[in-house]
Structure 1
Amino acid sequence: MSDTNSHTEQVVRDFVAWENGDSSKVDVVSESLDVYNPGLDGGEVHDRESYAAYLQAGRRAFPDIQIATEEIVADGDIVMAEVRITGTHEGEFKGLPPTGRSVDIKGMGKFVIIDGTVEECYLYYDSNEMASQLGLTFPEILGQLPKLAWRKLKTSG
């Protein structure tokens, strides 16, 4: 592995540490970061602050959330990483009350590194897998309906 590849791999590891809440790693995150992620509203954001807000909302919903790189390969300024996201749904998530269930989702990330910062991040995973693990697919959702109806009644009055 070349020094360039090991450096870009470390940039991605630091980026994931930042995603996990280590603010000391912010220097590897471009201010004009472009993120493409099926979990984002509209599927994308185009600046570091918007992505940080999304991550913070995720930590409120899943206080023990952890994003990990399991395999990582670099070729120049492009890094591919197998990622694993785990956490327990203990707070409101996109309008859904906590289920208390855990998620364990695998996916792939493609990272474009320019001048030592992550400029672009493309995350690929099955977003239906999260819904399924949270019990939000039919017929599991039937158990959530009373909570959802109660919440809707409370917020509409």
Structure 2
Amino acid sequence: MNDSVSQPERIVRDFVAWENGDSSKVDVVSESLDVYNPGLDGGEVHDRESYAAYLEEGRSAFPDIQIAIEEIVANGDTVMAEVRITGTHEGEFKRLPPTGRSVDIRGMGKFSIPDGTVEECHLYYDSREMANQLGMTFPEILRQLPKLAWRKLKSSG
């Protein structure tokens, strides 16, 4: 990276690398991390381990998931980044069987870095877009009903 990259910007780039599975970057993630993300159950988590578990669940469902920073700007200890999330749905995701479809979603992240670690992260994206791309909207969901019914029958038997 060039010398014009600010320290907070570098920290966010390392945070995204951690989100992508680079465990060597964990030192930029506060243990008391607060994350607000429409994809989380309840929309938020309040510690690093809970967010790591969510990320692992995502990697299990989308083994090739990639979060990329498209644009980034820092002002003091606040960083804004436009992100792009891509991946192929190959495993169960939020109790939905794999569709084999790819997703390509854009969003924004606002990161607070008051002490050299990411303390707070607000992610903004249209979660309906993911449902649309996975074919989980009406009438596309009708094609998924046989798989969902079969899965339910197998799990109750």
Shorter-chain TM-score tier: over 0.9
> The residue matched to 2:52 in structure 1 has which SS?
helix
Any unmatched runs of 5+ in structure 2? Answer: none
Equivalent residue pairs, number = 155
In structure 1, the partner of 2:136 is: 136
Alpha-carbon displacement from aligned partner over 1:89-144 (angstroms, at most 9, x marks no partner)? 00000100000000000000000002110000000000000000000000111111
1:5, 1:76 within 8 Å by CA — same for their partners in 2? no
1:146 maps to 2:146: yes
Which structure 2 residues correspond to residues 21-100 of structure 1 after superposition, within 5 A? 21-100=21-100
Q: Structure 1 segments of 4 or more deviating over 6 A?
A: none
> The residue matched to 1:144 in structure 2 has which SS?
helix
Residue 156 of structure 1 deviates from its aligned partner by 1.2
Q: Cα RMSD between the aligned structures?
A: 1.2
In structure 2, the partner of 1:11 is: 11
Identity, % of aligned pairs?
86
Superposition TM-score, scaled by structure 1 size? 0.97
Alpha-carbon displacement from aligned partner over 1:8-37 (angstroms, at most 9, x marks no partner)? 000000000000000000000000000000
In the alignment, the residues of structure 2 paired with residue 121 and residue 112 of structure 1 have an alpha-carbon distance, to the nearest angstrom, of: 6
In structure 1, the partner of 2:125 is: 125
In the alignment, the residues of structure 1 paired with residue 138 and residue 155 of structure 2 have an alpha-carbon distance, to the nearest angstrom, of: 25
1:110 maps to 2:110: yes
| Paired AA for residue 144 in structure 1 | Q
In the alignment, the residues of structure 1 paired with residue 148 and residue 20 of structure 2 have an alpha-carbon distance, to the nearest angstrom, of: 29
1:63, 1:90 within 8 Å by CA — same for their partners in 2? yes
